């Protein structure tokens, strides 16, 4: 089964053969049928996202479940994502999703820790619990998860579930931005535009907004237009720049 799995990986990543997702799926499934746990996950994943095969959530769930029975952490996470809101042919089951995520998070999977943070932070699919959100974000941040760094930064910026601290927000946004998270650059821009924990500085804000725009962040474009249209706080008013941004 290992040789078949390795061949699937080679086709999936285009290593020493031309990338071919259909071939990758074929070899993953052969290995999966022989009980190869990573191949079961890969088979499920391709079915889940419709890569190299027609999307089939029902079959994806079956293969994820087989891998989960062998303790495969990413399968816990991916199956949970399906169950949070449900997919074609698969009913939503947020309670089971939380159990799966908790199991993976407790065994150190940062993606699961982050997802739990989001779920408890937003409180849409599960009851809102800001204390749990902070707990799971912090676990993911300890593993350098860039999205968790950004989200925990927001909680510090607004003092939700933690003592408000602009300096801690800035520290976390900076860590996240260094991993190319557009939202984190945007949030840093906001700190300088509003003068939260730093001196109000539109030049600095513009630098961060520019970086966020470079990462396709729409709101950053609007904020950039806003500060260039008024100028001040170290920034020269520039209506041509505003025009350019609005095109």
Tokens standing for 234? 């170290």
> Is 18:43 a contact under the CB 8 Å cutoff?
no
Distance of CA 202 to the CA centre of its chain: 29
Place of tokens 């908790």: 102
Confidence of residue 89 (pLDDT cuts 50, 70, 90): very high
Confidence of residue 102 (pLDDT cuts 50, 70, 90): very high
Return d(Cα 80, Cα 94) in angstroms, integer.
Answer: 8
Summarize pLDDT for 174-193 with one digit per residue, the tens.
Answer: 999 999 999 999 999 999 99
Dump the DSSP string for 155-213.
HHHHTSSS---HHHHHHHHHHHHTTT-HHHHHHHHHHHHHTSSS---HHHHHHHHHHHH
Question: b vs e for 170-196, b when ≥16 Cβ sit within 10 Å of the residue's Cβ?
Answer: bebbbbbbeeebbbbbbbbbbbbbeee
Summarize pLDDT for 41-64 with one digit per residue, the tens.
Answer: 999 999 999 999 999 999 999 999
pTM confidence score: 0.92
Residue 246 confidence (pLDDT) above 90: no
């Amino acid at each position: 089964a290992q040789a078949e799995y390795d061949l699937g990986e080679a086709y999936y990543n285009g290593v020493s053969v031309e990338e071919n997702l259909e071939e990758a799926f074929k070899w993953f499934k052969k290995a999966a049928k022989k009980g190869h746990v990573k191949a079961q996950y890969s088979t499920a994943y391709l079915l889940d996202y419709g890569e190299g095969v027609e999307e089939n959530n029902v079959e994806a769930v079956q293969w994820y479940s087989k891998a989960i029975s062998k303790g495969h952490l990413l399968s816990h996470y991916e199956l949970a994502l399906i169950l949070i809101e449900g997919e074609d042919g698969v009913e939503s089951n947020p309670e089971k999703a939380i159990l799966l995520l908790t199991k993976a998070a407790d065994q150190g999977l940062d993606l699961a820790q982050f997802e739990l943070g989001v779920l408890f932070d937003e409180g849409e699919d599960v009851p809102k619990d800001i204390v749990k959100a902070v707990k799971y974000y912090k676990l993911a941040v300890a593993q350098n998860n860039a999205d968790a760094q950004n989200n925990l930064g927001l909680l510090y910026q607004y003092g939700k579930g933690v003592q408000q601290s602009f300096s801690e927000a800035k520290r976390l946004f900076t860590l996240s931005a260094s991993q190319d998270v557009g939202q984190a650059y945007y949030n840093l821009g906001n700190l300088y535009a509003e003068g939260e924990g730093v001196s109000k500085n539109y030049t600095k804000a513009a630098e961060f907004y520019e970086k966020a725009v470079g990462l396709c962040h729409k709101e950053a474009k609007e904020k950039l237009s806003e500060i260039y249209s008024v100028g001040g706080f170290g920034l020269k008013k520039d209506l041509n720049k505003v025009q350019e941004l609005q095109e």
